[in-house]
Structure 1
Amino acid sequence: MAVATTADIEEQAARKLERYRRVTYRSFMFAAVGFVLPGLYGLEDAYTKGDAGVPLIVAVVAGLALLAWCYTRLVRAGLEGIVSRRDVVGSGVVAAALSLMMLTGPWFSVVPVFWVSAVVLGPMGRGRIVALCAGAGVYCGVVATVAAERLYPESDAPWYVIFPVLTALYTAVSGFVVFVNRYQRRMWELHQEAYAARDALARLAVTEERLRFSRDLHDLLGHSLSLIAVKSELAKRTVRDDPERAGAEMADVQRAARDALREVRAAVRGYRAVELDAELAGVRAVLEAAGVRCEIGRPPGGLPPEVRSVLAWVIREGATNVIKHSEARTCAISLGVHRGSAHGGARYGDSVVLEMRNDGVRGAETPAGSGLTGLTERVAVLGGEITAGRHGRDGFLLRAAVPLPPARERGADGADAGQALPAGRPA
C-alpha cells in the first residue's frame, strides 16, 4: 500500500514555497508599473507642451527601461538576501537623473520613491533605512521646489516654505512604501523559516527513530549474541575432552539463537503494526505540516484490535490521497458506531463507520488506484466495505464500514462503545 513518504511531503512543501516566492516576486514586478506608466505619461505631456525634444525623449525612455531592469535585479537580489552595491549605486544614479524630469511635470516624482522601495528589500539596518528615506526626501524636495517655481510662477508661497513641506511629504511617502515592502519581505522570510523548521523537524524525527531502533536492537540482540559467543567458545574448547558438555553448550547456543530470532520477529511485528490512536496523531501532524487543517473525531472505545488496525490503514491511505491527489485546505475524520437491530435482548449487527472528507480535489475523478484496492481487500477480510468518490463541488469522501462482533464477544468495554460522532469533533 502506498504511504505518504517524507519525500512526498517535502515535495509538496517545496512546491508551496516556490509558489509563494513567485507570487511575492510578481507582486513587486507588478508594482514597477507604478513608475513606468507615470513616467511615460509625463514624457508624453512634456513633449506636447514642448518641454522635451526627441533626443531627450529617447534618453528618458532608455532610462526608464534601464531603471526597470535595475529594479528587477534589486528585487530578486533582495528576496535572496544579497544586494550588490554596484546595482544600488548604478540604479540610484539612473533614478536621480530621471527625477530631474520633475522640472517638466510632477509625474516623475514617483521614480525615487520606487527606487528606495527596491533598495530596502536587501539586508539593511534601521538607521540606514531612515537615512535613505531622508536623503531621498531632501533630494526630491530640492528638485520639486525648483520645479514648483518653474511650473507655477504665479504661486505666492516662498521656496523656504515649499521646500520643507515637500521634503517632509516625500520622506513620509518613502517611509510608508518602505514599511509595506519590508513587511512583505518579512512574510517571505517567515515562509522560508517555516520551511526550514519543518525540514529540520523531519530530520530530527528520523534521527530519533534511528536512535530508538538502534537501542531496541542492542537490547534485543546484545545479550543473546554475547551468550552465543561465550557458549560457542566454551563448546570449542571442550569438544575433544568432554563431548557431552560441548553438546550441551551447543544446545544452549541453539536455544539462545531461537530466542533471539523470536524476539526480533516480535519486534519487527511491533514496528510494522499500525495502531489507530498513533495513526490519528501521525496523520494530524502530517496533514497540518502540509498546510491542511485537520479535524478528527474521538474514536469509539472497545473496538477489537483487528478492527482498529484496519481502520488505521484506511486513515493512512486516506491521508496519502489527500496529500498526493488534492490541494486540500481542510480534512475532517469522523469515527462512530452505528447500532444494529436487537434480537432476544442482545444486540447484533453493529458496525463502526469511518469517514474522511477533504476539499481541493483537482480535475476529473480518476479510477481507484492500488492503494484503495488494497484497502478494499483488507476491509473485506473483516466483512466490511469501502466507498470513495467525489463529494460536492470539489470535495472527496472516503467511507469505510466494518462490522463488529456481538457485544458479549467484545467484552464490557464494547457494550456501550462509541456513539456516532459528527465530523470534526475535536479529539
Structure 2
Amino acid sequence: MRRPGGWWRLKSTPEKVETYTRWSFHFFGVSEAAGIGLATYGQTGPRLATLLSLLVVAHAAACMATAARALDWTLGRRAQPVRELWGLGALTAVLAAVAILLAEHGPAGDGVDTATLSVFTGVQVFGVGTMALGVRHRWRTLAALVGGFAAGAGVVSGAAGVLWPAALVLAGVLLAAGAFTSFTAVFSVWLLKAVYALDDAKETRARLAVAEERLRFGRDLHDVMGRNLAVIALKSELSVQLSRRGRPEAVEQMIEVQRIAQESQREVRDVVRGYREAALEVELAGARGVLAAAGIAAKVTGETADLPAKVQAALGWVVREATTNVLRHGDAKEVAVTVRMSKGRVVLTVENDGVAVATGHGPPAGPGGSGLAGLRERLSAVDGTLEAGPAGKGVFRLTAEVPLPSATADAALEAAS
C-alpha cells in the first residue's frame, strides 16, 4: 500500500518544482474567482453579483487552461498556444469593457462601483500575468502587452465616462500590477527551466564520467596489448620467413611468440582485475565527490588504511553500489558513511534520508534489480554479511560486516586498546 504523500516522494526534484509551479498558477485562478467574483456578493445586489461572479469564474477558468498549455509549450511538450492566448486576451478585454460600462451606466450605488472596478482591474491583472507565460521575446513583448492593456484601460474608462484623472489612475494601477504579475510569471518559468537544465547537466556529467572511465580502460588495454601485439606480429612474420627457408630458428621464434602471448594474457587479466576491483579509500573519495556534485552532503568517518586488500575491495563495492542507489532513487539531502571495528569485524554503514518508498520494501536494489544480491555474493566470498532496510521515517540504512583475518584483527584490537 502506498503511504500518504508517496506520490510526491516518487517525483524527482524538477518534477516537484513543475508541480508546484502549475498548482501555483491554478491557485491564482481560484484566488481570482474567490477574491474578486465571490466578493461582489457583499458589495452589490444578488443579480448583479451573480452576473459579475459568472464572468470572473469564466475568466479564471480560461486563465488556468491557458497557463497549463503555456507551461507545456515552455517545456517543449507542445506547440505555442496562440489561439488560447488570443482568446484569453479578447475575453479579458471584453470583460473589462463590460465591467467599466456597468460601473458608469449600471445600477447606482457605491457598492456597484467598487464591485465593477475590482472586476475591471482584476481580470486584466490576472489575464496579463497568464498571457506572459506563453509569449516569445518575453521582455519586449511583455512591455508591449502590459503597456497596451494599461493604455487601453485608461482610454476605455475615459470614453465610458470616467473622469480623466481617475482614468489615468486606473491606467497607472494596471501598469504597476500587470508588470508585477507578469514578472512573477516569467520568473517562475525561468526558475522551472533552470531546474530542468541543472538536472540535465547532472545526468550529462554522470555520463561523461562513465565515458571517461571507459576511455581510461581503453587506453590501459591499448598500452598493454599494442606493444605486445606488434612484437607478436613481427616475430610471427620472422618465423614464417625462417620456416620457408628451412631454418631451425623458426621454432625458437614461435616459442617466443607463445611466451609473449601468455604474458599478454596475464597483463590483460591484471588490467581487468584492477578495473573491476574497488579500493575502499578510492571509492569513499569518489562517493564524496559525486554526492557533493549532486548537492548531497556526505559525511565519512572511520579509518580504512590498514584493512586487507580483499576486505577493502568487498567494502569498496558496497560504497559504490550504495552511492549509485542514493543518486538513482529517492531525493537524499544527507548521506553518512561510517567504518568501524567491532570484535574482529569491520562494519560499514551507509545511511541516507529522502528515500522514495512506494511499496514499503526500500529502494530498488540497483541496476537490473540485482545490485544488493550482487553485493551479498561479493561479501560472501570474504565471509561477510549485508543488511539493508528502512531505519526510520524516510531513512534507509545499509550495513555490511566483514570478519578480519586473525592477525589483522589482533593488530586492530591492540591499536584500539
Superposed pair shares fold, TM > 0.5: yes
In structure 2, which of residues 128, 133, 145 is the aligned counterpart of residue 116 of structure 1? 128
Secondary structure of the 2:248 match is helix
- The match for 2:14 is 17
- The match for 1:247 is 251
Secondary structure of the 1:225 match is helix
CA 1:203/1:42 → structure 2, altered by over 3 Å: closer, same or farther?
same
Task: Determine the C-alpha separation between the residues in 2 that align with 1:53 and 1:371.
Answer: 63
8 A Cα contact 2:30 2:60, kept in partner = no
8 A Cα contact 1:113 1:136, kept in partner = no
Secondary structure of the 2:231 match is helix
8 A Cα contact 1:379 1:386, kept in partner = yes
Task: Determine the C-alpha separation between the residues in 1 that align with 2:379 and 2:142.
Answer: 64
1:247-275 deviations in Å (ceiling 9; x for gaps): 11111111111111111111111111111
- The match for 2:89 is 92
Task: Determine the C-alpha separation between the residues in 2 that align with 1:57 and 1:184.
Answer: 28
1:295-310 superposed matches below 5 A: 295-310=299-314
8 A Cα contact 1:385 1:401, kept in partner = yes
Question: What amino acid maps onto 1:29 in structure 2?
Answer: H
1:25-47 deviations in Å (ceiling 9; x for gaps): 23222322233445644787899
TM-superposed deviation, 1:405: 3.9
- The match for 1:404 is 404
1:310-357 deviations in Å (ceiling 9; x for gaps): 21122233334545664533221112234xxxxxxxxxx543322112
TM-superposed deviation, 1:200: 2.5
- The match for 1:356 is 350
1:182-331 superposed matches below 5 A: 182-287=186-291, 292-323=296-327, 326-331=330-335
Question: What amino acid maps onto 1:119 in structure 2?
Answer: M
- The match for 1:173 is 177
Give the TM-score taking structure 2 as reference length. Answer: 0.77
Greater mean deviation of Cα atoms: 359-368 or 167-176: 359-368
Question: What amino acid maps onto 1:195 in structure 2?
Answer: D
TM-superposed deviation, 1:291: 5.8
Greater mean deviation of Cα atoms: 376-385 or 126-135: 376-385
- Is 1:73 paired with 2:77? no
8 A Cα contact 2:344 2:410, kept in partner = no
Greater mean deviation of Cα atoms: 369-378 or 233-242: 369-378
Task: Determine the C-alpha separation between the residues in 1 that align with 2:202 and 2:18.
Answer: 17
TM-superposed deviation, 1:143: 4.4
8 A Cα contact 1:235 1:250, kept in partner = yes
Task: Determine the C-alpha separation between the residues in 2 that align with 1:390 and 1:66.
Answer: 46
Flag structure 1 segments of 5+ consecutive residues without an equivalent: 1-11, 150-158, 339-348, 420-427
CA 1:368/1:200 → structure 2, altered by over 3 Å: closer, same or farther?
closer
8 A Cα contact 1:301 1:418, kept in partner = no
CA 1:289/1:271 → structure 2, altered by over 3 Å: closer, same or farther?
same
8 A Cα contact 1:386 1:399, kept in partner = yes
TM-superposed deviation, 1:245: 1.1
Flag structure 2 segments of 5+ consecutive residues without an equivalent: 1-8, 103-115
8 A Cα contact 2:69 2:81, kept in partner = no
Question: What amino acid maps onto 2:208 in structure 1?
Answer: L
Task: Determine the C-alpha separation between the residues in 2 that align with 1:238 and 1:84.
Answer: 80
- The match for 2:28 is 31
Task: Determine the C-alpha separation between the residues in 2 that align with 1:251 and 1:313.
Answer: 40
- The match for 1:137 is 150
- The match for 1:126 is 139
CA 1:334/1:123 → structure 2, altered by over 3 Å: closer, same or farther?
farther
Secondary structure of the 2:393 match is coil
Greater mean deviation of Cα atoms: 222-231 or 24-33: 24-33
8 A Cα contact 1:332 1:358, kept in partner = yes
- Is 1:164 paired with 2:168? yes
Question: What amino acid maps onto 2:91 in structure 1?
Answer: V
1:193-221 deviations in Å (ceiling 9; x for gaps): 11221232233223322322232222111
1:169-194 deviations in Å (ceiling 9; x for gaps): 22111122122222211211111211
Q: How many residues were matched structurally? A: 386
TM-superposed deviation, 1:115: 2.0
Question: What amino acid maps onto 1:276 in structure 2?
Answer: L
Give the TM-score taking structure 1 as reference length. Answer: 0.75
TM-superposed deviation, 1:52: 9.3
Task: Determine the C-alpha separation between the residues in 2 that align with 1:168 and 1:313.
Answer: 66
8 A Cα contact 1:336 1:353, kept in partner = yes
CA 1:204/1:30 → structure 2, altered by over 3 Å: closer, same or farther?
same
After superposition, the CA RMSD in angstroms is 3.9
- Is 1:394 paired with 2:394? yes
1:379-411 deviations in Å (ceiling 9; x for gaps): 455454444333233323222333334567898
Q: Percent identity?
A: 34
